[in-house]
Amino acid sequence: MNKNTKINALLLVVVAALAVLPLALGLGDGEKEPFTGADAQAETAITEIDPDYEPWFSPLYEPPSGEIESALFALQAALGAGVLAYYFGLRRGRRQGELRATAGQERRGADGGAEEPTVRKA
């Protein structure tokens, strides 16, 4: 196994552990909604500190349920990941194209600039 394969395997184990450990250790068992987002937790904390607090803004769109909100968030994350993957793939492709072009020029320069004539048959 080469070094990159070992690093990739280790990263997969770490990601799996981060996903499974909170569930296995029972973190958040005593809470009403154990795995809510930071926004909901902040809202709860502010309401406990100051029950008369009025938010400055209201959301533009309030999904009808938590499942739809989660689905929209996952869609947003997937679109962002797709845009990033496209960008980095495009950059890598351009770099590989430049390297191939440079290598082709060097090869032609080593031959004295003369290319082998092509023979066409009629």
Is 47:53 a contact under the CB 8 Å cutoff? yes
Residue 31 is classified by DSSP as: S
CA distance 49 to 44: 9
What is the pLDDT, as a whole number, of residue 48?
92
Whole-model pTM: value is: 0.50
Altogether, the residues listed in the chain come to a count of 122
What pLDDT score does 22 carry? Answer: 80
- Residues 53-73: pLDDT tens digits? 888 888 888 889 888 988 999
Residues of the chain with pLDDT under 70: 28, 30-31, 33-35, 110-122
Residue 44: predicted pLDDT: 84
* Interatomic CA distance for residues 75 and 69, integer angstroms: 10
Residues in Cβ contact with 22 at an 8 Å cutoff, skipping those fewer than 6 apart: 28, 35
The pLDDT score that the predictor gives to residue 118 is 62
